[in-house]
């Protein structure tokens, strides 16, 4: 899976990485792209009749290239592939080595091919003031890079596995057009990263027999991620800030986070919780017994929306896993603390609900309760804060936060009860004031009856 | 013996009588009493409608009294308006009661005025010599609707803010003067603190002064021309002088008072059982709430304007909203000039076309309002 993730990001990496590699191989800064001239490459490579069967991968039309960031920037075939684009006949040897033709004979050649430019800071600066040029270097540190270089595994992801698939076939084929990462049509646009990684990492045949640090690579990471709170946030709600593969595994230098760095990976977004956890004895014990930090309780790819049900010693709670039977040295005192914290959380939740119900009732009766409603948010904030503080694995800060919430609830409940009581009082006073009004009306009517009736016409 | 005509009160009177004599001598109350004694109110099948004017006057009094009390605590600035109204509702003793009565009474007043206008129209009480009485009444209805529109914004809540934005934008679509009127009303391009200040000034100074003048004129004319009697009633009794009557004081006044007490009880009940809600504080940068609606008495126009297409019959310069606004403006002008539109007035005969138009207008009003409230 991780390999796939890396593969997803490889195209971008490769582009950059290639540039880096090229820089290493050719210390001299490359020349700018040649001025536009005749480009006869398309004459042959754009002719569908010439490229059939096995050779179909060499078919490149101008339509394919239209979306390519390189093509759009004015680069032409020879700027990447070398050769002589002015050759009008195949006999003129457009692919001659003396013309600098660069053959990509194997996936092994891809990283350096792209890295020729993308690792060359001076070259890349022509297109962007502060470009990344570390992708190639990162790639060689990734598990993909390692497998490619040391094991000669030609099926691992390289740049074009993720950024472009110009020479595939059928669904595997992507147009010969590398798009910027910010382009929603790019294979590595945020919402497409996971799917791109899954192209390899969900392929059981491809993953069969592959291992990472002695563990077989699974194939269900994508399915798990789509069911996770992160996947749903991105795919269902369109939240582009939700994490996808590369946020935890890296992109060009993709590797799975190590056991002792999981918390740091999660902490990249969940900073407060990670900071709380980092200073705990629990963290220390996790490290000692080799538990993967946050993932121990929350899982890795299939991370669900945390709930209060995770806390405590009842069925379904995560504390039970260790504290019930003293696994990994977990104590019974910890179990008692978990029970108490859960009970206190429930108490505050129930208090908030009750106060809200009373406020709603008062509001429906027309009472003005907007201020207490606003105040009640502080209790909800306290509840959220307490839930975060649980990751400190110390009861005191949690209890303090919950106690603050209870104070707010008590104050709001008092206001809400007062509003209801006032509404009742108003009805009593209404009845009390209507009585004299009706009495006056009655007396007036009686007096009116005693008056002479309407007189006849005026004489 | 008239006490007022006497320069020196008889010494045998005790202090209450002497106090009365004191004021009668100085204020000339006996002439008012004499005037009231001569005032008669015709008695017939639709005499009940005569109470609507008095009821409107009573509710106006309630508005003045509660409005003065509210003004003691209200702060007309965007930063404080909402909070001050909330304080009135929650902290000021009986503040909730006065604000709720003020709001409910305003709505009842507009409703009573609509009925007053309709019944006056159906009884043809606008005919000569009462044309100015009618017109002053129509203008008063417009003034009270302006009271409602300006007062709606004062709590500076979300619904009022956006409804005022929509309302003023509609007014701004009037050709030629629309843009100027919009800037005048808002005090700028959008609803801001300047708008609130203007609406407050309009609500508590300009409109009350106009109302006092118009109500004074209206009452003077009612007093001068007497109460109109429908032609049907006159014909039935064989002449105006043969129509039965009751003295204004005490017969009619006491019946008026029954209505006023009844209205007071209804207002108290509405305020206690259904306090006027405050809503959420306006956020000029927030999104408009769904289903913005003006007060019910503007709803028929709002709902009708909503149905009009952007361009009528696809003609680019014929904007639906502009045509709609001009149409309602024209209708308002026709209502104002009804005494001069009723060509049968000189013959004193009812015209079926006028009844038909009134029924059409009332039907349109009810249908559009119900549709808008749905």
Instruction: Give whole-number Cα distances, B324 to A184, B183, B328, B366, B373, in Å.
Output: 45, 21, 6, 18, 20
Environment class of residue B82 by beta-carbon count within 10 Å: exposed (0-12), middle (13-18) or buried (19+)?
Answer: buried
Please report residues of A whose CB lies closer than 8 A to that of B258.
441, 444-445, 448
Q: Is A428 on the interface with B (CB under 8 A)?
A: no
Q: Do B258 and A448 touch (CB under 8 A)?
A: yes
Distance of CA B291 to the CA centre of its chain: 26
Question: Cβ(B158)–Cβ(B283) under 8 Å?
Answer: yes
Please report residues of A whose CB lies closer than 8 A to that of B256.
none
- With a CB cutoff of 8 Å and minimum separation 6, the contacts of A308 are A342, A345, A346, A349, A387
Nearest of A247, A293, A288 to residue A274 by alpha carbon: A293
A7: pLDDT strictly greater than 60: no
d(CA B69, CA B66): 5
Q: Do A454 and B89 touch (CB under 8 A)?
A: no
Confidence band for A262, pLDDT divided at 50, 70 and 90:
confident
Question: Closest to A457 (Cβ–Cβ): which among B242, B262, B273?
Answer: B242
Domains of chain A, by residue range, sit at: 2-256, 332-450
d(CA A39, CA B245): 108
Environment class of residue B349 by beta-carbon count within 10 Å: exposed (0-12), middle (13-18) or buried (19+)?
Answer: exposed
Q: Which chain B residue shows the shortest CA-CA distance from A418?
A: B90
Q: What is the pLDDT of residue A32?
A: 59
Chain A: give the shortest CA distance to residue B363, in Å. Answer: 32
Q: Which residues of A158-195 are buried (b: 16+ CB within 10 A; e: fewer)?
A: bbbbbbbbbbeeeeebbbbbbbebeeeebbbbbebbbb
Please give the model's pTM, rounded to 2 decimal places. Answer: 0.69
Question: Closest to B268 (Cβ–Cβ): which among A434, A448, A459?
Answer: A434
Question: Cβ(A206)–Cβ(A155) under 8 Å?
Answer: yes
Please report residues of A whose CB lies closer than 8 A to that of B262.
441
The more confidently predicted of residues B353 and A178 is A178
Chain B: give the shortest CA distance to residue A370, in Å. Answer: 8
Phi and psi angles of residue B311, each rounded to the nearest 5 degrees, phi first? -125, 130
Long-range contacts of A417-422 (CB under 8 A, 24+ apart): A417/A358, A419/A358, A419/A359, A419/A362, A419/A365, A419/A367, A419/A368, A419/A369, A419/A372, A420/A358, A420/A361, A420/A362, A420/A365, A420/A367, A422/A367
Interface test with A, best of B250, B253, B265, B269 (most A CBs within 10 A): B265
d(CA B139, CA B132): 10
β-strands A211-212, A215-216: how paired? Answer: antiparallel
Per-position DSSP letters for A144-184, written without gaps between them: HHHHHHHS--TTS--HHHHH--TT--GGG---S-PPPTTST
Q: Which fold has domain B36-282?
A: Cytochrome Bc1 Complex; Chain C (1.20.810)
Q: What is the predicted ipTM?
A: 0.85
Q: Which chain A residue shows the shortest CA-CA distance from B274?
A: A366
Q: Do A430 and B269 touch (CB under 8 A)?
A: yes
The more confidently predicted of residues B14 and A386 is A386
Question: Cβ(B89)–Cβ(B99) under 8 Å?
Answer: yes
Please report residues of A whose CB lies closer than 8 A to that of B89.
368
Question: Closest to A368 (Cβ–Cβ): which among B246, B261, B278?
Answer: B278
Q: What is the pLDDT of residue B12?
A: 65
d(CA B119, CA B50): 9
Chain A: give the shortest CA distance to residue B40, in Å. Answer: 10
- With a CB cutoff of 8 Å and minimum separation 6, the contacts of B129 are B225
Domains of chain B, by residue range, sit at: 36-282
d(CA B59, CA B53): 10
Question: Cβ(B261)–Cβ(A444) under 8 Å?
Answer: yes
Confidence band for A29, pLDDT divided at 50, 70 and 90:
low
Environment class of residue A313 by beta-carbon count within 10 Å: exposed (0-12), middle (13-18) or buried (19+)?
Answer: middle
The more confidently predicted of residues A161 and A359 is A359
Average pLDDT, chain A: 85
Q: Which residues of B touch A (CB under 8 A)?
A: 40, 43, 86, 89-90, 96, 237, 239, 241-247, 250-251, 254-255, 257-258, 261-262, 264-265, 268-269, 272-278, 280
Please report residues of A whose CB lies closer than 8 A to that of B280.
370
Q: Which chain A residue shows the shortest CA-CA distance from B41?
A: A454
pLDDT in tens, chain B (374 residues): 344 444 555 556 677 788 888 888 888 888 888 888 888 899 999 999 999 999 999 999 999 999 999 999 999 999 999 999 999 998 999 999 999 999 999 999 999 999 999 999 999 899 889 999 999 999 999 999 999 999 999 999 999 999 999 999 988 888 888 899 999 999 999 999 999 999 999 999 999 999 999 999 999 999 999 999 998 899 999 988 899 999 998 999 999 999 999 999 999 999 999 999 898 899 989 888 887 889 999 999 999 999 999 888 877 778 888 999 999 999 999 999 999 888 766 665 556 788 888 999 999 999 999 999 98
Please report residues of B whose CB lies closer than 8 A to that of A451.
250-251, 254
d(CA A393, CA A397): 9
- At residue A128, the 3 state secondary structure works out as coil
Long-range contacts of B324-333 (CB under 8 A, 24+ apart): B325/B170, B325/B171, B325/B173, B325/B174, B326/B174, B326/B175, B328/B301, B328/B304, B329/B174, B331/B361, B332/B142
Chain A: give the shortest CA distance to residue B83, in Å. Answer: 10
A171: pLDDT strictly greater than 80: no
- Determine the average pLDDT of the residues in A114-129: 92
- Determine the average pLDDT of the residues in A251-260: 83
Q: Which chain A residue shows the shortest CA-CA distance from B277?
A: A366
Q: What is the pLDDT of residue A103?
A: 83
Confidence band for A446, pLDDT divided at 50, 70 and 90:
very high
Q: What is the pLDDT of residue B5?
A: 45
Q: What is the pLDDT of residue A350?
A: 97
Q: Do B258 and A444 touch (CB under 8 A)?
A: yes
Q: What is the pLDDT of residue A1?
A: 37
Q: Which chain B residue shows the shortest CA-CA distance from A422?
A: B272
- At residue A225, the 3 state secondary structure works out as helix
Question: Closest to A430 (Cβ–Cβ): which among B43, B244, B268?
Answer: B268
Interface of A with B in 355-394 (CB under 8 A): 366-368, 370-371
Task: Give the E-state strand segments of chain B in sequence order.
Answer: 40-42, 245-247
Angle, alpha carbons A213-A218-A223 (nearest 5°)? 140
A22: pLDDT strictly greater than 70: no
Q: What is the pLDDT of residue B350?
A: 56
Q: Do B241 and A457 touch (CB under 8 A)?
A: yes
Nearest of A407, A422, A415 to residue A358 by alpha carbon: A415
Environment class of residue A439 by beta-carbon count within 10 Å: exposed (0-12), middle (13-18) or buried (19+)?
Answer: exposed
Q: Which chain B residue shows the shortest CA-CA distance from A454?
A: B246
The more confidently predicted of residues A255 and B56 is B56
Q: Read off the pLDDT of residues A364-385 as tens digits, 9 standing for 90 and up.
A: 888 989 999 999 999 999 999 9
Please report residues of A whose CB lies closer than 8 A to that of B243.
457
- Determine the average pLDDT of the residues in A430-446: 96
Q: Which chain B residue shows the shortest CA-CA distance from A426?
A: B272
Please report residues of B whose CB lies closer than 8 A to that of A427.
272-273
Chain B: give the shortest CA distance to residue A360, in Å. Answer: 13
Phi and psi angles of residue B247, each rounded to the nearest 5 degrees, phi first? -65, 145
Q: Do B244 and A426 touch (CB under 8 A)?
A: no
The more confidently predicted of residues A220 and B17 is A220
Question: Closest to B90 (Cβ–Cβ): which among A368, A438, A459?
Answer: A368
Question: Closest to A455 (Cβ–Cβ): which among B239, B245, B254?
Answer: B245
A427: pLDDT strictly greater than 60: yes
Per-position DSSP letters for B188-223, written without gaps between them: SSS--HHHHHHHHHIIIIIHHHHHHHHHHHHHHHHH
Nearest of A430, A438, A429 to residue B261 by alpha carbon: A438
């Amino acid at each position: 899976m991780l390999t796939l993730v890396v593969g997803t990001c490889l195209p971008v990496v490769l582009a950059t990485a290639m540039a880096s590699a090229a820089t290493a191989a050719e210390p001299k800064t490359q020349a700018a792209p040649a001025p536009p001239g005749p480009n006869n490459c398309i004459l042959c490579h754009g002719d569908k009749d010439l490229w059939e069967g096995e050779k179909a991968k060499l078919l490149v039309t101008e339509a394919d290239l239209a979306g390519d960031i390189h093509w759009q920037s004015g680069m032409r075939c020879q700027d990447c592939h070398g050769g002589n684009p002015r050759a009008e006949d195949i006999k003129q040897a457009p692919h001659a080595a003396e013309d600098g033709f660069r053959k990509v004979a194997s996936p092994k050649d891809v990283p350096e091919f792209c890295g020729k430019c993308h690792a060359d800071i001076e070259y890349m600066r022509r297109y962007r003031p502060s470009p990344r040029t570390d992708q190639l270097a990162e790639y060689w540190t990734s598990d993909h890079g390692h497998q490619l270089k040391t094991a000669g595994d030609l099926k691992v992801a390289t740049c074009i596995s993720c950024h472009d698939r110009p020479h595939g076939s059928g669904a595997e084929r992507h147009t010969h057009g590398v798009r910027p990462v910010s382009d929603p049509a790019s294979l590595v646009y945020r919402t497409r990263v996971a799917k791109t990684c899954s192209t390899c990492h969900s392929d059981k045949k491809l993953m069969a027999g592959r291992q990472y640090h002695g563990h077989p690579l699974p194939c269900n990471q994508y399915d798990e991620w789509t069911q996770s709170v992160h996947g749903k946030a991105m795919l269902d709600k369109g939240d582009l800030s939700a994490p996808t593969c590369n946020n935890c595994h890296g992109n060009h230098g993709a590797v799975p986070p190590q056991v002792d760095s999981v918390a740091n990976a999660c902490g990249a977004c969940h900073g407060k919780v990670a900071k709380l956890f980092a200073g705990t004895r629990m963290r220390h014990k996790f490290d000692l017994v080799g538990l993967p930090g946050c993932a121990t309780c929350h899982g890795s790819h299939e991370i669900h929306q945390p709930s209060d049900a995770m806390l405590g010693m009842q069925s379904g709670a995560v504390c039970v896993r260790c504290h019930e039977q003293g696994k990994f040295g977990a104590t019974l005192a910890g179990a008692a603390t978990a029970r108490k914290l859960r009970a206190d959380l429930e108490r505050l939740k129930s208090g908030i609900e009750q106060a809200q119900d009373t406020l709603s009732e008062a509001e429906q009766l027309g009472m003005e309760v907007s201020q207490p409603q606003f105040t009640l948010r502080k209790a909800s904030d306290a509840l959220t804060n307490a839930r975060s503080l649980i990751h400190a694995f110390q009861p005191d800060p949690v209890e303090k936060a919950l106690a603050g919430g209870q104070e707010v609830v008590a104050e709001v409940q008092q206001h809400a009860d007062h509003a209801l009581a006032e509404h009742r009082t108003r009805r009593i006073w209404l009845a009390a004031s209507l009585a004299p009004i009706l009495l006056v009306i009655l007396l007036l009517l009686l007096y009116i009856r005693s008056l002479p009736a309407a007189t006849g016409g005026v004489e | 013996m008239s006490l007022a005509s006497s320069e020196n009160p008889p010494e045998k009177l005790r202090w209450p009588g002497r106090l009365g004599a004191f004021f009668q001598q100085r204020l000339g109350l006996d002439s008012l009493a004499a005037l009231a004694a001569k005032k008669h109110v015709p008695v017939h099948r639709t005499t009940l409608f005569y109470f609507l004017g008095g009821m409107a006057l009573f509710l106006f009094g309630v508005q003045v009294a509660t409005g003065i009390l509210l003004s003691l605590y209200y702060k007309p600035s965007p930063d404080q308006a909402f909070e001050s109204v909330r304080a009135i509702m929650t902290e000021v003793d009986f503040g909730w009661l006065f604000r709720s009565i003020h709001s409910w009474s305003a709505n009842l007043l507009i409703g009573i005025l609509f009925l007053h206008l309709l019944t006056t129209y159906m009884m043809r009480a606008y005919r000569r010599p009462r044309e100015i009485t009618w017109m002053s009444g129509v203008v008063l209805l417009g003034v009270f609707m302006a009271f409602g529109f300006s007062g709606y914004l004062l709590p500076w809540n979300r619904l009022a803010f956006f409804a005022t934005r929509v309302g003023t934008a509609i007014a701004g679509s009037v050709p030629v003067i629309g843009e100027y009127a919009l800037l005048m009303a808002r005090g700028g391009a959008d609803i801001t603190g300047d708008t609130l200040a203007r609406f407050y000034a309009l609500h508590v100074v300009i409109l009350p002064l106009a109302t006092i003048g118009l109500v004074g004129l209206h009452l003077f004319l009612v007093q001068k021309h007497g109460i109109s009697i429908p032609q049907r009633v006159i014909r039935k009794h064989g002449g105006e002088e043969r129509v039965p009557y009751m003295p204004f004081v005490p017969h009619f006044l006491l019946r008026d008072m029954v209505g006023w007490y009844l209205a007071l009880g209804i207002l108290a009940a509405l305020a206690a059982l259904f306090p006027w809600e405050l809503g959420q504080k306006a956020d000029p940068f927030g999104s408009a709430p769904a289903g913005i609606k003006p007060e019910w008495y503007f709803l028929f126009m709002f709902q009708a304007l909503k149905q009009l297409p952007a361009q009528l019959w696809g003609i680019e310069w014929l904007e639906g909203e502009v045509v709609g606004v001009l149409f309602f403006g024209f209708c308002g002008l026709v209502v104002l000039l009804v005494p001069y539109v009723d060509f049968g007035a000189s013959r004193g005969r009812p015209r079926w076309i006028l009844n038909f138009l009134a029924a059409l207008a009332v039907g349109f009003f009810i249908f559009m309002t119900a549709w808008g409230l749905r």
